[in-house]
Chains A and B, each alone.
Chain A
Amino acid sequence: MSVTHLCDLTGTELAAKLRAGEVTSAEITASCLARIDTVEDRVRAYLTRTEDVARARAADVDARLANGEDLPSVAGIPLALKDVLTTRGIRTTCGSRILESYVPPYDSTAWARLSADGAVLLGKTNCDEFAMGSSNENSAFGPVHNPWDLDTVPGGSSGGSAAAVAVGEAIWALGTDTGGSVRQPASLCGVVGLKPTYGLVSRYGLIAFASSLDTVGTFTRSVRDAAVLLSSIAGKDPMDATSLDGPKRNYTEGIEQGVAGLRIGIVREAFGEGVQPGVKASVQAAIDRLASMGAQVGEVSLPHTDYALSAYYLIAPSEASSNLARYDGVRYGLRVEGGDSVEMMRKTRGSGFGPEVKRRIMLGTYALSAGYYEAYYGQAQKVRTLIIRDYEAAFESYDVLVSPTSPTTAFRIGERADDPLAMYLSDVFTIPANLSGVPAISIPSGLDDAGLPVGLQVTAPVLAEPTLFRVAHALEGELGFDALPPLVAAL
């Protein structure tokens, strides 16, 4: 690649250039918008583009910087938001026909905080419908194409945000992670994907899929960038009763401490049969580097990993079946006429929801229905306890855990679409962190022989984000992954 485009730099690099007067926010924004114009017809990462809003904010930030104002780190840097995060006055669809023309009257807290800090909004990204999926093939508005190989999936459900960051259509982005929906697409798209501790970032305005699992997460090109974004959005929110107490903090502090002396546990269950050889090799090589960096590396078991998937596919659809009941054609969204109110609701929901959403609503409704609660939901909540105990035991001996993020690299569009169970297996290594609420991050460990990115997942105890960042940042530096998708490299 001959020219380094602004839209391919990290947020941290761009923030420095802004303050040094080398570039303006308008220039950075123009670079991202130009990239979108160039590749969007092939990638399809965006559902709604907000160029005017973006340019206006960029101009505003430039004026304030010129005035000598000291602005937060995220100011003036173009950002994308997964289309399950509400944006006041800007259409928010959740990738669904049932909300195709829904315009929220309020901002999600995560976006409100970034906006107050001066972030530039480029648009709302495509995703699996209501965040249900692992490939972004469940969007009612068409799939997203992985920039590394356009015939493959970017992962899901936050496929649009992952692809946009990977291909320069945004410097960084927010997504949501319920069973791996930030980490898995990050892994498949070769970017950094963070799922913070459950409750650290407010869910107010995060359109609910599974309330006890949904977490706002970040897509960035570096671990430091993830820490910067997290610092802006984290912290208690009075509008979310599940958000955690605690002061706001700067998560980049201490990020340079390195891994010497830290105990790193390799998850035994994550290197079994279902994992692609290329994935195993890439992650193993990265682990070997950790040892050479002075970390103590050992093996650890999370014995109930096998049951986590089952528990997830009972808890998440159960909560979802209730959370999605509000989409009934009465107060907002799609309405399909016909007959009385009951008929109207049935037809609206029958038309407005796609097959995966219907599948999960039916599954969840059944699991909660009379006589079945104890056998399904009740049992699944017990498995949750066992998963939490697994992690607590593991973290007694280790500071962080490491595993592949996803058993495979990006698979072909259409390959798993008719096999729900195969699709669900994509999340086998990411789901346990959602069930237990612990933070986890995926960083690129390299490319496989087919040139597709492999992701390595680091997991830390509850609220141990500083340790998480420290390890991930050190490893990232050591691995030096700087490849760009061929689509971009050619520009």
Chain B
Amino acid sequence: MAEEFETVIGLECHVELSTETKMFCGCRNEFGAPPNTNVCPVCLGHPGSLPVPNEKAIEYIVRIGLALDCSIAPHSLFHRKNYFYPDMPKNFQISQYDLPVCVAGHLDVEVDGGTRRIGITRVHMEEDTGKTTHGSASGRIHEADHALVDYNRAGVPLVEVVSEPDMRSPEGARVYLTELRATLEALGVSDVRMEEGSLRCDANISTRRKSSSDLGVKVEIKNLNSIRSLERALKYEEERQRAALRNAEPLVQETRHFDEDRGTTQTLRSKEEAFDYRYFPEPDLPPLEPDPKWVERIRVSLPELPAARRARLTRDFDLKLAQALLVGESKASADFFEETVGLSAAPVAVAHWMTQDLAGLLNKAKIELDASKITPQHVADLVHLVEDGTISNAGAKQALEDAFESGDPVEDIVERRGLRQVTDTSALQAWVDEAIAENPVPVEQFRGGKEAILGFLVGQVMKKSGGSANPKVVSDLVRERLSGT
């Protein structure tokens, strides 16, 4: 039933650059400062003020364009995008129109068990607006009687990345956004924190019957505050559109707002009232004509990007793709992995710890790897101690949880918690003999050929030892006892 439809998705992402200063003036570009303290005549739009572009911002957008395999335009222009809104100091935004800095790139993502190439239409430079808070008890725009504006954010450099409508599922969109975010983070050009607004995303989604050559009605979705929201919103919208098509109900080209609480999309405004931005070239700014040698220097100095990193991890450390995806997700994660392996810990084991138990702890505590107390040394020690039998897997899990809270070295934790496995055969022999004596039936079954019952017997010994026995050694001892006399 679902197969008769095709979903088409494109994403427009806005990236706040992490430059020291704003795009067109020397005010600090800083999140969370007291309101209206990082402002000047330029970013307040005072009469007579003029913009002068930030050279670092231009370097950053070129970096982004090159990382996305775009062509860097030899000649690009700033344009004025004219519209009125209280958070717009000049009531026009300096942006780019038909001659952006970067065009025609792509981003390859892993989705549906394969690699999919998502086209990047363009990457262009613009400036951010101020922030408006609506004055009313609920903070919601519909009930406000006034609004308050803070221009600290006005003029912060913003890069817009527009994808081709090449995604075919909400999951694909999620993967694209995740990969784009990781790429931008690797480039060091932005904090890319959706919850802080340094990465923002709008989605365009349409649905068509596979048999049709018509394009579906395009709907824009706004107010996506996280990658998870993106996927939720698109899943809802995809189904809403399919239901409408199935019931022969009309779909309207419009902008819809994602409601976080309900998980639904609502009409915001009809696209028919499309704004007339009256674009014209910004007369206060000369064109940008990046020197090809300078662009080349940037290209050769690009850091390792997530896709390349994943490929390298898979190749050099023999990781499975799923592990490489998770370990290589961020620079912090990949660096952690390599440092741990550098302490002579087996790569596959390290990857296993990072992607299973450690990932679980991080998720539960809602923190990032570099904010946790776990160091590469911790993980390396755990891997070594399990490998040489000093502690059991279960014991290692306990030790990890403890280290996560305490930050103490693994050795100290092992001592403190008595996690050392008992490997000494003479100590174990007594328990083994006891278990055999207490369980004649299973013993008979084992001697009769039921291999699997060995586990039960080993378990009995483990119980007696309070879990401290090394299960492998116990297993060998039991087998030896039972196969002999």
Task: Identify the A interface with B (CB < 8 A).
Answer: 84-86, 92, 94, 99, 102, 104-106, 108, 203-208, 210-212, 238-242, 318-319, 321-322, 325-328, 330-332, 341-342, 345, 365, 368-370, 373, 377
Q: Specify which chain A residues have a CB less than 8 angstroms from the CB of B90 in the assembled complex.
A: 325-326
| A325-B48 in contact (CB<8A) | no
CB distance from A355 to the nearest CB of B (A): 21
Q: Specify which chain B residues have a CB less than 8 angstroms from the CB of A212 in the assembled complex.
A: 283
- Docked pose: A411 CA to B444 CA in angstroms: 126
- Docked pose: A207 CA to B50 CA in angstroms: 10
Interface centre among A105, A212, A368, A369 (most CB of B within 10 A): A368
Q: Specify which chain B residues have a CB less than 8 angstroms from the CB of A204 in the assembled complex.
A: 48-50
- Docked pose: A449 CA to B309 CA in angstroms: 87
| A368-B82 in contact (CB<8A) | yes
Q: Specify which chain A residues have a CB less than 8 angstroms from the CB of B280 in the assembled complex.
A: 318-319, 322, 368, 373, 377
Q: Specify which chain A residues have a CB less than 8 angstroms from the CB of B51 in the assembled complex.
A: 241
| B41-A106 in contact (CB<8A) | yes
Q: Specify which chain B residues have a CB less than 8 angstroms from the CB of A369 in the assembled complex.
A: 276, 278
- Docked pose: A242 CA to B276 CA in angstroms: 28
8 A Cβ contacts from B106-161 to A: 147, 149, 151
Is B316 interfacial (CB 8 A cutoff)? no
Q: Is the interface of A mostly helix, strand, loop or mixed?
A: loop
- Docked pose: A102 CA to B46 CA in angstroms: 10
Interface centre among A99, A210, A330, A365 (most CB of B within 10 A): A330
Residue ID in chain A nearest B90 by CB atoms: A326
Q: Specify which chain A residues have a CB less than 8 angstroms from the CB of B53 in the assembled complex.
A: 241
- Docked pose: A207 CA to B147 CA in angstroms: 28
Q: Specify which chain A residues have a CB less than 8 angstroms from the CB of B147 in the assembled complex.
A: 341
| B284-A368 in contact (CB<8A) | no
B 87-107 binary contact with A (CB < 8 Å = 1; else 0): 001111000000000000000
Query: With A211-B284, A241-B285 in contact, is A330–B48 under 8 Å at CB?
Result: no
Q: Specify which chain B residues have a CB less than 8 angstroms from the CB of A94 in the assembled complex.
A: 47
Q: Specify which chain A residues have a CB less than 8 angstroms from the CB of B92 in the assembled complex.
A: 322, 325
The listed residue (B47, B52, B89) touching A239 by CB distance below 8 A is B52
Is B174 interfacial (CB 8 A cutoff)? no
Query: With A322-B80, A326-B91, A330-B86 in contact, is A203–B47 under 8 Å at CB?
Result: no
| B82-A240 in contact (CB<8A) | no
| A330-B278 in contact (CB<8A) | no
Residue ID in chain B nearest A208 by CB atoms: B48
CB distance from A112 to the nearest CB of B (A): 12
- Docked pose: A331 CA to B90 CA in angstroms: 10
CB distance from B417 to the nearest CB of A (A): 63
Is B286 interfacial (CB 8 A cutoff)? yes
Q: Specify which chain A residues have a CB less than 8 angstroms from the CB of B52 in the assembled complex.
A: 238-241
Residue ID in chain A nearest B78 by CB atoms: A241
- Docked pose: A208 CA to B282 CA in angstroms: 13
Is B84 interfacial (CB 8 A cutoff)? yes
| B45-A86 in contact (CB<8A) | no
- Docked pose: A85 CA to B47 CA in angstroms: 9
| A242-B47 in contact (CB<8A) | no
CB distance from B470 to the nearest CB of A (A): 73
The listed residue (B41, B49, B283) touching A319 by CB distance below 8 A is B283
Residue ID in chain A nearest B85 by CB atoms: A341
Q: Can you sample 17 A-B contacts with CB below 8 Å?
A: A85-B48, A86-B47, A86-B48, A94-B47, A102-B47, A104-B41, A105-B41, A106-B46, A108-B48, A207-B47, A211-B283, A239-B50, A319-B283, A328-B84, A331-B46, A331-B151, A369-B276
CB distance from B453 to the nearest CB of A (A): 79
CB distance from A429 to the nearest CB of B (A): 24
CB distance from B280 to the nearest CB of A (A): 6
- Docked pose: A341 CA to B87 CA in angstroms: 11
Is B44 interfacial (CB 8 A cutoff)? yes
Residue ID in chain A nearest B91 by CB atoms: A325
- Docked pose: A329 CA to B448 CA in angstroms: 95
Residue ID in chain A nearest B284 by CB atoms: A211
Q: Specify which chain B residues have a CB less than 8 angstroms from the CB of A322 in the assembled complex.
A: 80, 82, 92, 278, 280
Interface centre among A203, A242, A331 (most CB of B within 10 A): A331
Q: Specify which chain B residues have a CB less than 8 angstroms from the CB of A318 in the assembled complex.
A: 280
CB distance from A239 to the nearest CB of B (A): 6
CB distance from B451 to the nearest CB of A (A): 79
| A241-B285, A321-B278, A326-B91 given; 20 more Cβ-contact pairs under 8 Å | A86-B46, A92-B47, A104-B46, A208-B48, A239-B52, A241-B50, A241-B51, A241-B286, A319-B280, A322-B80, A325-B91, A328-B91, A331-B89, A331-B151, A341-B86, A342-B84, A368-B278, A368-B280, A373-B278, A373-B280
- Docked pose: A401 CA to B151 CA in angstroms: 49
- Docked pose: A95 CA to B91 CA in angstroms: 22
B 45-69 binary contact with A (CB < 8 Å = 1; else 0): 1111111110000000000000000
- Docked pose: A242 CA to B149 CA in angstroms: 30
CB distance from A268 to the nearest CB of B (A): 31
- Docked pose: A393 CA to B82 CA in angstroms: 37
Q: Specify which chain B residues have a CB less than 8 angstroms from the CB of A211 in the assembled complex.
A: 283-284
8 A Cβ contacts from B139-194 to A: 147, 149, 151
8 A Cβ contacts from B255-298 to A: 276, 278-280, 283-286
B 317-347 binary contact with A (CB < 8 Å = 1; else 0): 0000000000000000000000000000000
| B278-A370 in contact (CB<8A) | yes
| B45-A104 in contact (CB<8A) | no
CB distance from B415 to the nearest CB of A (A): 65
- Docked pose: A211 CA to B89 CA in angstroms: 17
Q: Specify which chain A residues have a CB less than 8 angstroms from the CB of B41 in the assembled complex.
A: 104-106
CB distance from B99 to the nearest CB of A (A): 15
| B50-A240 in contact (CB<8A) | yes
Residue ID in chain B nearest A108 by CB atoms: B48
- Nearest first, the 8 A-B pairs at minimum CB distance are A325-B91, A211-B283, A368-B278, A207-B47, A212-B283, A205-B48, A207-B48, A370-B276
Residue ID in chain B nearest A212 by CB atoms: B283
